[in-house]
């Protein structure tokens, strides 16, 4: 066994450390590497002094003191100074280590952000390592979901993509991948992939590769975004563009409104201009209602979303409960609009020209896309409106409307005459057999009472009850008919006094009922006394009937005035109703409660709405099951005296 002196072994170790530090010098910053190398160098030299004591031949390689004391001091200084330099290097290494830890934390944070971005993104991500030799591709969970699969449900490989890509898009996909990997051309294409359900969906594919020093691709990563809905909209928009491209004037505006209604499934689309004849109003030049071109209307701006849109000068969206936000807007109330979008139209000189209004009875989905597409056609719509005005087509259109109104008025007059004759027939010809049925039934029950058992007598009573119900139904229909054709003779009406008259009649008919009435004093309105009596009679009778099962029945009538419009309110604490059926309340024969619960023909509220409409007012309702109902209506203001 070779006996190696400790001093020699120590010198060899220091030399090896110096060699290792030098070889790995790129891994250390200069502030660490230099003092460490210098320190171990001094330790190595000090070790050589120890070795020279045993090997005198080394004295020529190192400086050795003349006396033992000088040699000892050289060794001590070498060891101390070397150790100090190494300690300085280690002190500097600590900040480097801290920066490394900071870098690692930042790297982890970056990875976490990327993971969150993947999870929150609408698209999915893929990663293909070693494209030249590997067929496996990593897919994110979101990408599996876009394809209709559970994460990891199938092995993602090039073979799978070859099977899934649409045959018409395969050449585009693989030629684009090849061009990116070998020619470094941008990879940004659109193609179709088959999903789990067998449906082909459109995807936008983006990717970026990395290459080694020899130019070989080492990795390719990217994203896939489902753009199927966007593609469908693109086709629909192209169809809309082709449909209006060759049209001009009113034909263009009507085709545009109809196209927007069909494209987004919107119930009502109106293109309007500010009305010169009716200041503070909009006049529609193209109006679509449930897919049909309908007669144009005058739409008052006051208390409407149109006023807000014009004031803001930008597109406005009312996503829900728009009728609650604008309770005095007759157009919204009568159409049952839940949401709407308004887009201002400005003339070429910058002044407001009109509006494009899109309204629906439900929430308008993709409202931002609706605005974006509608605004694409806004400039052309403005150009057509200005051209119509410059060519006086608008004047001709209004004259045509006046002729049309005169023609419709004449038709209405003839229809009223026919309705008068029909009402006479209903009143006399139908009542006669009903009276006969009722009379014979009464005679049968009286003259043959001893021969009839209980079942027979019950049948006879049911016949007479239904005869009376049929008679009441005829009476109600006749009232509805008279309301429709009666000429309006308006005057100032004391609604508070009218309410008290109706209440006395109700109490006389059912004196046993205890109902608390709260009628606000001095409420008046401008309208036809006969029709308004029908309105109040039906509303109060309705409240009286539906509070019959309520404990502490209470009915109130009040009025509020806001923005120059008076709103009348009749409220009760009866059985109420579900608001999702509110639209049926004012339709003929529509009842929300069975006839076994409450008597009625289903005509009363339809008659009320008809009478209010005859006054160009509006009516709406709010309610909740078990908590009562409230009916609101407006009537026109008394015309100013000249």
Percent of the chain with pLDDT over 90: 16
Query: How much is the pLDDT for 192?
Result: 92
Beta-carbon contacts of residue 181 (< 8 Å; ≥ 6 apart): 131, 209, 217, 220
Decide if 444 is inside a domain. Answer: no
- Supply the Cα-derived Rg of the chain in whole angstroms: 45
Residue 282, CA distances (Å) to 13, 193, 213, 290 in order: 97, 49, 70, 21
Q: Read off the pLDDT of each residue in 150-175 and give the average, rounded to a whole number.
A: 91
For residues 78 and 72, give the distance between their C-alpha atoms in angstroms, rounded to a whole number: 10
Query: How much is the pLDDT for 61?
Result: 47
Higher local confidence (pLDDT), 37 or 343: 343
Helix (H) or strand (E) holding 254: helix 249-264
Query: How much is the pLDDT for 476?
Result: 56
Helices (H), 569-615: 604-614
The CATH number of whichever domain residue 263 belongs to comes to: 3.30.450.40
Last residue of a domain, one of 88, 115, 142: 115
Beta-carbon contacts of residue 624 (< 8 Å; ≥ 6 apart): 576, 577, 579
**Strand, coil or helix: 367:** helix
Decide if 133 is inside a domain. Answer: yes
The pLDDT mean for the chain works out to 77
Beta carbons of 382 and 345 less than 8 angstroms apart: yes
Is there a single domain that holds both residue 40 and residue 62? yes
Q: How confident is the model at residue 6 (pLDDT cuts 50, 70, 90)?
A: low
Residue with tokens 């979303």: 305
The CATH number of whichever domain residue 144 belongs to comes to: 3.30.450.20
Is there a single domain that holds both residue 271 and residue 333? yes
Decide if 546 is inside a domain. Answer: yes
- DSSP lists the bridge partners of residue 165 as 193
Decide if 348 is inside a domain. Answer: yes
The CATH number of whichever domain residue 556 belongs to comes to: 3.30.565.10
pLDDT of 185 higher than 90? yes
Q: Read off the pLDDT of each residue in 344-349 and give the average, rounded to a whole number.
A: 88
Q: Read off the pLDDT of each residue in 176-189 and give the average, rounded to a whole number.
A: 93
Query: How much is the pLDDT for 568?
Result: 94
Decide if 447 is inside a domain. Answer: no
Top-ranked range on mean pLDDT: pick from 385-389, 409-413, 630-634:
630-634
For residues 147 and 157, give the distance between their C-alpha atoms in angstroms, rounded to a whole number: 14
pLDDT of 21 higher than 50? yes
**Strand, coil or helix: 452:** coil
User: CA torsion, points 606, 612, 613, 619, in degrees to nearest 10?
Assistant: -80
Going by the DSSP 8-state scheme, the letter that residue 638 receives in this structure is: P
pLDDT digits over 426-445, tens only?
555 555 666 667 676 777 77
Is there a single domain that holds both residue 248 and residue 353? yes
Query: How much is the pLDDT for 557?
Result: 93
Q: For the chain, how many structural domains are there in total?
A: 4
For residues 365 and 426, give the distance between their C-alpha atoms in angstroms, rounded to a whole number: 48
Residue 133, CA distances (Å) to 205, 206, 213 in order: 22, 21, 17
Last residue of a domain, one of 184, 205, 226: 226
Instruction: Specify the pTM.
Output: 0.38
DSSP-assigned letters across all residues of 373-396: HHHHHHHHHHHHHHHHHHTTHHHH
pLDDT of 368 higher than 90? no
Treating both helix axes as pointing N-terminal to C-terminal, what angle do 367-390 and 393-425 enclose, rounded to 10 degrees? 110
Beta carbons of 238 and 320 less than 8 angstroms apart: no
Beta-carbon contacts of residue 468 (< 8 Å; ≥ 6 apart): 438
pLDDT of 166 higher than 90? yes
Decide if 193 is inside a domain. Answer: yes
Is there a single domain that holds both residue 40 and residue 104? yes
pLDDT of 380 higher than 60? yes
pLDDT digits over 484-523, tens only?
556 777 789 899 999 998 889 888 888 888 889 998 998 9
Query: How much is the pLDDT for 598?
Result: 59
Q: Read off the pLDDT of each residue in 189-196 and give the average, rounded to a whole number.
A: 92
**Strand, coil or helix: 340:** strand
Is there a single domain that holds both residue 305 and residue 165? no
Is there a single domain that holds both residue 154 and residue 274? no
Full residue range of the structural domain in which residue 497 is found = 486-634
Cα angle at 305 between 304 and 306, to 5 degrees? Answer: 90
Query: How much is the pLDDT for 581?
Result: 74
pLDDT of 148 higher than 80? yes
pLDDT digits over 303-338, tens only?
889 888 888 888 888 988 889 899 888 888 888 888
Decide if 427 is inside a domain. Answer: no
Query: How much is the pLDDT for 47?
Result: 60
pLDDT of 249 higher than 90? no
Is there a single domain that holds both residue 207 and residue 244? no
Is there a single domain that holds both residue 93 and residue 179? no
For residues 31 and 512, give the distance between their C-alpha atoms in angstroms, rounded to a whole number: 105
Beta carbons of 268 and 359 less than 8 angstroms apart: yes
Helix (H) or strand (E) holding 456: helix 454-485
Is there a single domain that holds both residue 244 and residue 386? yes
Beta carbons of 562 and 302 less than 8 angstroms apart: no
pLDDT of 569 higher than 90? yes
Is there a single domain that holds both residue 166 and residue 72? no
Higher local confidence (pLDDT), 334 or 108: 334
Is there a single domain that holds both residue 31 and residue 90? yes
Is there a single domain that holds both residue 551 and residue 535? yes
pLDDT of 254 higher than 70? yes
pLDDT of 615 higher than 60? yes
For residues 28 and 96, give the distance between their C-alpha atoms in angstroms, rounded to a whole number: 9
For residues 39 and 47, give the distance between their C-alpha atoms in angstroms, rounded to a whole number: 12
Decide if 505 is inside a domain. Answer: yes
Last residue of a domain, one of 226, 245, 269: 226
DSSP-assigned letters across all residues of 57-78: GGGGTS---SSHHHHHHHHHHH
Using CA of residue 353, residue 356, residue 357, residue 363, what is the dihedral sign? negative
pLDDT digits over 37-89, tens only?
666 666 666 665 555 555 454 455 444 445 555 555 555 565 566 566 555 65
Query: How much is the pLDDT for 15?
Result: 62
């Amino acid at each position: 066994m070779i006996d190696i002196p400790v001093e020699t072994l120590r010198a060899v170790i220091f030399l090896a450390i110096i060699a290792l530090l030098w070889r790995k010098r790129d891994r250390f910053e200069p502030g660490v590497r230099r003092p460490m190398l210098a320190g171990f160098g001094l330790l190595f030299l000090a070790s050589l002094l120890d070795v020279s004591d045993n090997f005198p031949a080394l004295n020529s390689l190192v400086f050795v003191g003349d006396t033992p004391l000088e040699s000892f001091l050289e060794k001590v200084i070498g060891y101390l100074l070397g150790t100090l330099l190494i300690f300085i290097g280690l002190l500097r290494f600590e900040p480097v280590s801290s920066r490394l830890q900071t870098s690692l934390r930042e790297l982890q944070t970056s990875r976490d952000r990327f993971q969150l971005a993947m999870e929150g993104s609408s698209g999915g991500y893929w990663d293909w390592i070693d494209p030249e030799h590997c067929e496996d591709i990593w897919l994110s969970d979101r990408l599996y979901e876009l394809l209709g699969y559970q994460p990891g449900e199938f092995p993602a490989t090039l073979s799978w993509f070859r099977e899934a890509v649409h045959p018409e898009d395969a050449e585009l996909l693989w030629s684009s991948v090849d061009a990116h990997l070998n020619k470094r051309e941008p990879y940004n294409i659109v193609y179709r992939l088959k999903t789990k359900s067998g449906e082909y969906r459109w995807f936008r594919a983006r990717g970026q590769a990395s290459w080694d020093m020899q130019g070989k691709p080492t990795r390719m990563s990217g994203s896939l975004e489902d753009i199927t809905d966007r593609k469908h909209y693109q086709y629909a928009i192209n169809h809309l563009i082709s449909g209006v491209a060759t049209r001009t004037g009113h034909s263009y505006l009507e085709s545009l409104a109809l196209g927007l209604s069909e494209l987004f499934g919107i119930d009502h689309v109106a293109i309007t201009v500010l009305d010169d004849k009716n200041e503070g109003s909009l006049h529609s030049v193209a109006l679509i209602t449930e897919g049909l071109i309908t007669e144009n209307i005058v739409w008052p701006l006051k208390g409407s979303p149109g006023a807000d849109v014009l004031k803001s000068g930008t597109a406005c969206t009312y996503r829900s409960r728009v009728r609650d936000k604008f309770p005095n807007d007759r157009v919204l109330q009568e159409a049952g609009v839940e949401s709407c979008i308004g887009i201002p139209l400005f003339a070429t000189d910058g002044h407001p020209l009109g509006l494009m209004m899109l309204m629906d009875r439900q929430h308008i989905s993709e409202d931002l896309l609706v605005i974006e597409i509608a605004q694409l056609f806004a400039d052309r719509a403005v150009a057509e409106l200005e051209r119509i005005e410059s060519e006086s087509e608008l004047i001709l259109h209004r004259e045509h409307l006046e002729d049309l109104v005169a023609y419709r008025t004449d038709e209405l007059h003839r229809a009223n005459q026919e309705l008068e004759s029909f009402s006479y027939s209903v009143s006399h010809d139908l009542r006669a057999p009903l009276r006969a049925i009722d009379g014979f039934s009464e005679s049968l029950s009286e003259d043959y009472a001893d021969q009839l058992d209980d079942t027979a007598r019950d049948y006879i009573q049911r016949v007479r009850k239904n005869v009376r119900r049929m008679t009441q139904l005829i009476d109600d229909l006749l009232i509805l008919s008279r309301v429709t054709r009666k000429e309006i003779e308006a005057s100032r009406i004391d609604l508070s006094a009218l309410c008290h008259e109706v209440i006395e009649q109700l109490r006389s008919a059912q004196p046993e009922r205890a109902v608390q009435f709260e009628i606000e004093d001095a409420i008046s309105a401008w309208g036809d006394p006969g029709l308004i009596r029908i309105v109040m009679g039906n509303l109060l009778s309705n409240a009286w009937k539906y509070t019959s099962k309520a404990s502490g029945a209470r009915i109130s009538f009040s009025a509020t005035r806001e923005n120059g419009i008076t709103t009348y309110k009749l409220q009760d604490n009866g059985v109420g109703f579900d608001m999702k059926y509110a639209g049926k309340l004012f339709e003929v024969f529509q009842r929300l409660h069975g006839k076994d619960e409450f008597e009625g023909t289903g005509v009363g509220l339809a008659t009320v709405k008809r009478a209010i409409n005859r006054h160009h007012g509006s009516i709406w309702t709010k309610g909740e099951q078990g908590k009562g109902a409230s009916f609101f209506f407006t009537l026109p203001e008394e015309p100013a005296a000249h």
